[in-house]
Structure 1
Amino acid sequence: MGGYTLIEHASLASRNTLRVDARARLLAEIRDASKLPELLEFLAIRNGCVLPLGEGSNVLFTGDFDGTVVVMATRGVQVESDGDSARIAVAAGERWDDFVRWTLGQGYAGLENLILIPGTVGAAPIQNIGAYGCEVAEFVESVEAWDTREQRVVILDHATCAFGYRDSLFKREPGRYIVTAVRFLLPRNRPLRTDYAGIDEQLARMGVDKPAPFHVAEAVVHLRTKKLPDPAVIGNAGSFFKNPIVDAALAEALKREHPELAAWPQADGRSKLSAAWLIEAAGFKGLREGDAGISNRHALVLVNHGNATGPQLWALAQKVMAGVRKKFGVQLEPEPVVIGS
């Protein structure tokens, strides 16, 4: 069919980075975003659930999906530049890391801290991906999407997207929007964020005293590859647990008892705590139960050592959350979307 393909009873094992063997009743791969309305009018799709899926780097399937998984395989980048900055419209199917590297090659700044994050451009605003002190929301001007409720293309400006910490309108209304493109506003010059999680120290090791964006990107690549397991080598979805945001009183009490606990003050007076520290201090780093495990390289990462099922991985994640809650009184939440639980 022109612009898309449909597969019945499709395996999703190669379409999620945790390598969970789940199936979808239908899998639709879209190469032309203008064909989405036609596809979604099929009776078998119209009356069922729809799940937009990028590279599956932010999802845990705990069972089969009795609906249609929609994968955007669209490509394209369009640039409107005024010299000092650029509006860049990017098709949802473009790979995120490829796009970040392209912006660096074009001399744009802003996304350097977000290099090497797996996934697609269309998935980036859904999760409001973030790393090393930066979030993609800072650079998103608008998101183009198909609104399945209103049956039309919508352009959602930055405010309407309602971005939060690993959160957005798209996560709060799952299945309603299928992102087709993202428009970014990127400058050529901006202050670099190097004061987070070892970037300054890595730049010093690199002998860089006047860093440019590409230097920061190189430092982040080094730090990520050193700390995080490669999904191509062992199944994982990157950081599985969010850093919890707690009331100042609880943060202060925990810091008095555990001075080494990292805590970052938030604008609303609360504090964000290091989930990695909490998990490791609760004794879960490196834990393995069957083929489900917590990485011995980074306590935030849930890993599939081979043939772990979705329910087995989710059970281990819940065990970690319960253990941290019991020891510290802090409730952890998963970053990925858990489908089927």
Structure 2
Amino acid sequence: MLSPQSKIVSHINGIVVGPLDLLAANTLRVPCSTWNTFFVDTVEGLQSLLPEVRHQPLLVLGGGSNVILKPVFPGVALLMRIGGIDYLPIDDADVDSRQMLVKAGAGVVWDDLVSQTVKAGWSGLENLSLIPGTVGAAPIQNIGAYGVELDQVFHALEAVRISDGQVVRFSKEECGFGYRHSVFKEALKGQFIITSVTFRLTGAEFAQCNTRYAPLNQYLDDHSIHRVTPEQVRKAVCDIRSHKLPDPAKKPNVGSFFKNPVIDEACWQALHERFPSMVSYPQEAGQVKLAAGWLIDQAGWKGRVSGRVMVHDKQALVLVNHEAGSADDILSLAEEIKNDIRDKFGVTLEIEPQVYPQE
């Protein structure tokens, strides 16, 4: 077993090992040092490595786009680089003849997968265009945008169990998906490392594109697009996101920082009487989802600067590390916003990104 704080530069079964400053491995660009850092590029390499590191705290990073890293992580960082996008033969897949199963390695850049599948004539991922990060991280929080969530096109995933290195397959039902949630965030947290995800996509000629999300629908109307294709939806989503959301390479951020809160209808009715223009979306079981960005904007936070960090001036849901701030700077600003929203609206916000190390 590797000893804590030993810094090794070597090559173990296809895995490059060595010390690495994680500032460039997270889109918030906050500094973080670890005892050891490993680049994982094969399942077999990961299985060989686990006996050496499984008894230490593990930090698994893909694109680092949904994490807030404290200055020191007292353990081992695994940077996921397992690649590959495979289209599975229909003969081997229990799918409709109009569909295709597409399997992607956990280290594949998410938007590269979206771009490739749309160009290849397959529909299902186009609404999820330009979401930062990698494929392996996507199921953990059941990513979603513009009216679509990952679980709607999810088929299965494979993950390596940390305790014994075995590869385990998870069906959609076994993943326990919910709004920005899966079993990998709670019940199975820290027990598995996702290595691949398989999606069930539909041929573009048979696709019924989801354009119900208001900004997307408005964009299509403004551009007189009436017979919508997956490629047009992707372009629309990319244009909207590029206009509203800052590029992490230029303005370090983790995208949407807060989850959209879900409340019951009685609470919504009381709020709606006070704020008739409040943005909301009806959900199942008499619940209503509120737009966290609208709440933060209405509370006057959009564009506000707090030391080395700030709320983005075009999208109040995004916090930007504009002057080399730290994790504590970001979390302090987030706490101020949460307290203010609770005071003004009686609504409790939750942050989307995961904080490491966890307290």
TM interval, shorter chain, is over 0.9
Q: Work out the CA distance in 2 between the residues paired with 1:334 and 1:226.
A: 23
1:22 matched to 2:39? The reply is no
Q: Is the 8 A contact 1:54 1:120 kept in 2?
A: yes
Matching of residue 155 in structure 1 with residue 166 in structure 2: no
Answering whether residue 18 of structure 2 is matched by residue 3 of structure 1, we say no
TM-score by length of 2: 0.92
CA pair 81-37 structure 1, distance change in 2 beyond 3 A: closer
Shift, 1:270, TM fit: 1.1
Extract unaligned runs of 5+ from structure 2. 1-10, 91-96
Is 1:69 matched up with 2:77?
yes
Query: Deviation of residue 284 (structure 1)?
Result: 1.2
Does residue 46 (structure 1) correspond to residue 54 (structure 2)? The answer is yes
| Deviation of 1:168 (Å) | 0.7
Check 1:164–1:216 CA distance in 2 against 1; reply closer, same or farther (3 A cut). same
* Counterpart position of 2:114: 100
Other-structure match for 2:7: none
Which residue identity lines up with residue 16 of structure 2 in the other structure? T
Shift of 1:73: 0.6
After superposition, the C-alpha distances for 1:209-245 in whole angstroms (9 at most, x for unaligned) are 2110100111111110111111111000000000000
SS in 2 for 1:229: coil
Q: Report the alpha carbon displacement of residue 127 of structure 1 after superposing the two structures with TM.
A: 1.5
The letter for the 1-side match of 2:66 is: N
- TM-score (norm: length of structure 1): 0.96
Residue 187 in structure 1 maps to residue 202 in structure 2: yes
- The structural deviation recorded for 1:197 is 3.2
CA distance in 1, matches of 2:46, 2:32: 24
| Kept after mapping to 1: 8 A contact 2:31/2:70 | no
Tell me, in whole angstroms, the C-alpha distance in 2 between the residues paired with 1:243 and 1:174.
Answer: 22
Verify the 8 A CA contact 1:77 1:90 in the aligned structure 2: yes
> Structure 2 CA distance, aligned partners of 1:170 and 1:70?
17
CA distance in 2, matches of 1:104, 1:149: 37
Counterpart for residue 117 of structure 1: 131
Cα distance in 2 for partners of 1:73, 1:65 equals 20
Q: Secondary structure, in 3 states, of the residue corresponding to 1:320?
A: helix
Q: Which consecutive aligned stretches of 4+ in structure 1 deviate over 3 angstroms post-superposition?
A: none
Counterparts of 1:108 and 1:142 in 2: how far apart (Å)?
A: 18
Q: Which secondary structure does the structure 2 equivalent of 1:187 belong to? A: strand
Structure 2 residue 222 is matched with structure 1 residue 211: no
Distance across 1 between alignment mates of 2:223 and 2:260: 29
Q: Give the structure 1 partner of residue 159 of structure 2.
A: 145
Note closer, same or farther for the CA distance 1:215–1:319 as it changes in structure 2 (3 Å cut). same
For residue 122 of structure 1, give the secondary structure of its aligned residue in structure 2: helix
Alignment of structure 1 residues 310-321 onto 2, 5 Å: 310-321=327-338
Q: Secondary structure at the match of 1:332?
A: coil
* Shift in Å, 1:252: 0.8
Q: Return the letter of the residue paired with 1:31.
A: D
User: Could you say which residue in structure 2 is the equivalent of 1:240?
Assistant: 257
Listed as ranges, the gaps of 5+ residues in structure 1 are none
Whichever residue aligns with residue 25 of structure 2, its letter is R
74-83 or 148-157: bigger deviation: 74-83
What is residue 4 of structure 2 aligned with on the other side?
A: none
Letter in 1 for 2:162: T
2:94 corresponding residue in structure 1: none
Q: Quote the Cα distance in structure 1 between the aligned partners of 2:323 and 2:298.
A: 26
* 2:304 aligned with 1:287: yes
- Three-state SS of the structure 2 residue aligned to 1:143 is strand
Query: Counterpart of 2:208 in structure 1: which amino acid?
Result: P
Counterpart amino acid of residue 183 in structure 1: T
Q: Is the 8 A contact 1:62 1:314 kept in 2?
A: no
Aligned length, in residue pairs: 338
Amino acid at match of 1:98: D
- The equivalent residue for 1:177 is 192
Q: Secondary structure at the match of 2:246?
A: coil
